[in-house]
Amino acid sequence: MPQSFSSPRLLLNRLRQVMASHDGGQERLSSIVKLIAATMIADVCSIYLRTKEDQLELVATEGLRSEAVALTRLSMDEGLVGLISQTAEPLAIEDAPRHPNFAYRPETGEDPYHAFLGVPILRGGRVIGVLTVQNRTERSYDEDEIETLQTIAMVIAEVIASETGPGGEYLNARSKQFEHSETLKGRSISPGLGIGQACYHDPVVPTAKFFALDTEAELRRLAEALHKLRASIDRMMDLGSHDLGEDPLDIMEAYRMLANDPGWASRLAEGIKNGLSAEASVDRARREHRAKLESARDPYLKARLNDLEDIDNRLLRILGGHDGADHVAIDEGSVLVARRLGPAELLEYSNAGLSALVLEEPAAASHAAIVARALGIPTIGGVTSVTTLLEAGDTLIVDAELGQLHIRPDEDVIAAYRARQELLSERQKVYRQLRDEKAMTRDGVEIRLMLNAGLKLDVEHLTETGAEGIGLFRTEFQFLISKQLPSLKEQKDFYAYVMDAAHGRPVYFRTLDVGADKIMASFAHPVEENPALGWRAIRFALDREGLFRRQLRALIRAAAGRPLYVMFPMVTVASEFLAAKALFLKELSWARRHGHPVPLHYSVGAMLETPALAFELEALSGQADFICVGTNDLMQFFHAADRMVPSITERYEFIARGPMAFLSHIVQLCDKLNMAVSVCGEAAGKPLDALALICLGYRSLSMPAASIGPVKRMIRSIDLAVLSNKVYTLLGQSTGSFREDFLALCKQHNVLLEIS
Ligand code: PEP
Ligand code: MG
């Protein structure tokens, strides 16, 4: 092999000096390519950057013709450079012109060069450019050279993105706009407006912390952090095996193997030896994992890459002085920005005073979305690539009414939004004034409005909203926020607190509903192809009897002399309900036998969230005291449309003949069987959907706190007998859009759906 280049550390050191110079962006890029070519003994070194038009533009070169700079542009799938940007992988070739993807550009004068090495320039999992070196002679580049070029590419990515770094100005002018205002579209997930500074959920490594001053010390820091990481995973595994049996340990074992992978650890050490800090070296691995994740299709591979990214993030937190699962403290009033966020992760921010939340993932019906609504955090999702388009500290306006994100808005835009915020609070005042009024229609039908809750702070909303009780208490939230399974006492105390705070108003406790996207930190859930259809809710609880009985025992103890309402989630067949109820009764008689206080009386019901149960209601007659319809899951299964994928769920209307006929069947059958019935999915909290439900015959609705006012105002504006008749007439027709006719009906009858 020809002489390999001198020390990568030296190269990084020199790069640092270039970065510190006062040259303009273009000059700095030119210095960088010169430096790399000289140090790596390459005849050519070039940087291509991704433009706004999604092309790769040659922005600096040493060795190719300088006239080609800013002229040569390749599409994202053109040439070797395009191939690298597509695969996000390095590419080393001995004789480039013979490669099928080679694209010859005469203006570059590229003819004499044979050997080619290119690596992606990655930022936030996105390829923002390509860095290449070329040699006249055919030669192969070794692992160390590839590794070093990758390290340098990461440094270039950072300096390009920073306003002051080389290329920053260049790039600001041409592609990225880290200084300019921008408005991005997203989907509204939790309503409201929020203004604040961007703060990343995933740890960010500042450019200032990129370089290792003392390699030995950095290697020691890395080794210690890896040790802590592995120990924390071992602790999680111990917990899992102790409390929950063996099955899911395989998954955890795979996670542990990733954390113990010597290849990964030695690459991290290699990065440090090349001159990076421990953080920067982990960050480099994270970028590569993310880039692969973006292009991965296979669900198994995706799950593994997600795990790898999780592990990178954990390690970064540990290096930042935080325990493996904790988040970095953030400033009050920040806007949290994340690619994806589970409900448990969001709950960890419940006391952080977030002013808004922005997610790349879109799902409005996800449990993170439900938590965001419960916490009253204005949230938008589906903002593509947002994590690569802004910097921590940028001012953001999150308009979760219109589903827009304003990045670095002008002062006048901020002023306009402050005025809109005032207007929104005026609207809230109108709703608050209804607090002590009855939710009664003009023709005297009273509707029971209840609250959906799951957190301690939710209970305060009872008094604020005037709700009659809690129609759905999601007990799993307590499990999701704790790193260990809550003990019997912790559960009992929590339930007793909720009942105390409800001051005699009923609280319907839904037993543990985990699985799908509700993942407990203290338990390794198996990876499933279709988790929403998998091992979750009552299926999980009945298989983990010890865990389930502990919860039932806690509920019984907490009630002590008060009425107790319990419901089981996602019952599919009557026998599941009967089995769960039998366990409840066993716990009750155990409590009696042992002289523990028991509830004054109890009510046990089933959540109807699968279409199958609607056809087994007779079997529950005399057994279930009530049925609670969970429209979120029920509609997901009715339409076979994943609630986590809005582009799919939005194709299907809730106010349409199919769902209406089905929901009408349920309420009529429950009435006939003399079984109380209510609705607690998100539909119950949308005035238009709630109206449809009331017209069908439902008289008890449970919803997020913010919906009580709007739904009550709607109820007080209607004459139910007239509307209900007309809705049933519409339902009997077989043509025309049910939704449009229904909307026309609302208009004709002056139904107050929202304050304009
Ligand atoms: C539902 O599915 O409608 C429901 C209330 O349960 P969750 O949203 O918690 O799955
Ligand atoms: Mg559900």
Strand order through the sheet with 126-135: 73-75, 55-62, 44-50, 126-135, 115-123, 91-93
Q: How far is ligand 1, taken at its centre, from the CA of residue 600, in Å? A: 28
User: Average pLDDT of the chain?
Assistant: 87
Instruction: State if residue 474 touches ligand 1 by the CB under 6 angstroms criterion.
Output: yes
Query: What are the Cα distances from residue 360, in Å, to 72, 295, 363, 364, 389?
Result: 32, 15, 9, 12, 11
pLDDT in tens, 674-694: 999 999 999 999 999 999 999
Are the folds of 182-201+328-425 and 207-319 the same?
no
The whole-number pLDDT of residue 237 equals 64
The fold of the 434-748 domain, in CATH, is TIM Barrel (3.20.20)
Cα–Cα distance, 410 to 356 (Å, whole number): 19
- Neighbour tally for 77: CB within 10 Å: 11
The pTM of this model reads: 0.69
The whole-number pLDDT of residue 423 equals 81
Instruction: State if residue 633 touches ligand 1 by the CB under 6 angstroms criterion.
Output: yes
pLDDT in tens, 494-542: 999 999 999 999 999 999 999 887 877 677 778 788 989 999 999 999 9
Q: How far is ligand 2, taken at its centre, from the CA of residue 632, in Å? A: 6
Q: How far is ligand 2, taken at its centre, from the CA of residue 12, in Å? A: 53
Which value, to the nearest 10 degrees, does the dihedral of the CA atoms of residues 428, 432, 434, 435 take? 140
Q: Which atom of ligand 1 is nearest to the CA of 570?
A: 2
Cα–Cα distance, 272 to 584 (Å, whole number): 57
Q: Which atom of ligand 1 is nearest to the CA of 629?
A: 3
Instruction: State if residue 537 touches ligand 1 by the CB under 6 angstroms criterion.
Output: no
Beta bridge partners of 483: none
Cα–Cα distance, 536 to 530 (Å, whole number): 11
Cα–Cα distance, 703 to 391 (Å, whole number): 36
Residue with the smallest CA separation from ligand 1 atom 3 is 630
Instruction: State if residue 515 touches ligand 1 by the CB under 6 angstroms criterion.
Output: no
pLDDT at 291 over 70: yes
Q: How far is ligand 2, taken at its centre, from the CA of residue 532, in Å? A: 10
- Where are the domains positioned within the chain? 8-163, 182-201+328-425, 207-319, 434-748
Instruction: State if residue 680 touches ligand 1 by the CB under 6 angstroms criterion.
Output: yes
- Which among 680, 686, 702 is the best mutation to test ligand 1's pocket, defined by most ligand atoms within 8 Å of the CB? 680
Which class is 8-163 in CATH? alpha beta
- Which among 607, 613, 666 is the best mutation to test ligand 1's pocket, defined by most ligand atoms within 8 Å of the CB? 607
Query: Is 1.10.274.10 the CATH classification of the domain at 207-319?
Result: yes
For residue 571, the ligand closest to its alpha carbon is 2
pLDDT in tens, 572-614: 999 999 999 999 999 999 999 999 999 999 999 999 999 999 9
Q: Are 502 and 541 in contact (CB under 8 A)?
A: no
Least confident of 232-241, 509-518, 731-740, 743-752: 232-241
**Sign of the Cα pseudo-torsion (184, 185, 190, 192, in order):** positive
Residue with the smallest CA separation from ligand 1 atom 6 is 630
The whole-number pLDDT of residue 519 equals 77
Q: Between these two residues, 321 and 358, which has the higher pLDDT value?
A: 358
- With tokens 């390519």, the residue in question is 33
Q: How far is ligand 2, taken at its centre, from the CA of residue 633, in Å? A: 5
Instruction: State if residue 556 touches ligand 1 by the CB under 6 angstroms criterion.
Output: no
Q: What is the DSSP string of 338-401?
A: ES---HHHHHTTTTS--SEEEESS--TTSHHHHHHHHHT--EEE--TTHHHH--TT-EEEEETT
Q: How far is ligand 1, taken at its centre, from the CA of residue 201, in Å? A: 26
Residue with the smallest CA separation from ligand 1 atom 8 is 632
Q: How far is ligand 1, taken at its centre, from the CA of residue 632, in Å? A: 5
The whole-number pLDDT of residue 252 equals 64
Of the segments 115-124, 207-216, 252-261, 589-598, which one has the largest average pLDDT value? 589-598
- Coil vs helix vs strand at 202: coil
Residue with the smallest CA separation from ligand 1 atom 4 is 630
The secondary structure element, H or E, covering residue 508 is: strand 507-510
Of the segments 2-11, 114-123, 434-443, which one has the largest average pLDDT value? 434-443
- Which among 571, 633, 689, 698 is the best mutation to test ligand 1's pocket, defined by most ligand atoms within 8 Å of the CB? 633
Reported as a pLDDT band with limits 50, 70 and 90, residue 51 is: confident
Q: Which atom of ligand 1 is nearest to the CA of 474?
A: 9
pLDDT in tens, 379-428: 999 898 787 678 788 999 999 988 999 999 988 889 889 888 888 888 88
Q: How far is ligand 1, taken at its centre, from the CA of residue 703, in Å? A: 11
Query: What are the Cα distances from residue 471, in Å, to 354, 365, 458, 690?
Result: 27, 19, 12, 15
- Which among 513, 540, 608, 613 is the best mutation to test ligand 1's pocket, defined by most ligand atoms within 8 Å of the CB? 513
Instruction: State if residue 631 touches ligand 1 by the CB under 6 angstroms criterion.
Output: yes
Q: How far is ligand 1, taken at its centre, from the CA of residue 98, in Å? A: 58
Q: Which atom of ligand 1 is nearest to the CA of 370?
A: 8
Cα–Cα distance, 625 to 603 (Å, whole number): 6
The whole-number pLDDT of residue 336 equals 95
Query: Is 3.50.30.10 the CATH classification of the domain at 182-201+328-425?
Result: yes
For residue 629, the ligand closest to its alpha carbon is 1
- Quote the Cα angle for 391-394-400, to 5°: 110
Instruction: State if residue 511 touches ligand 1 by the CB under 6 angstroms criterion.
Output: no
Strands (E), 615-668: 626-629
Reported as a pLDDT band with limits 50, 70 and 90, residue 307 is: confident
Q: Which atom of ligand 1 is nearest to the CA of 633?
A: 2
Instruction: State if residue 168 touches ligand 1 by the CB under 6 angstroms criterion.
Output: no
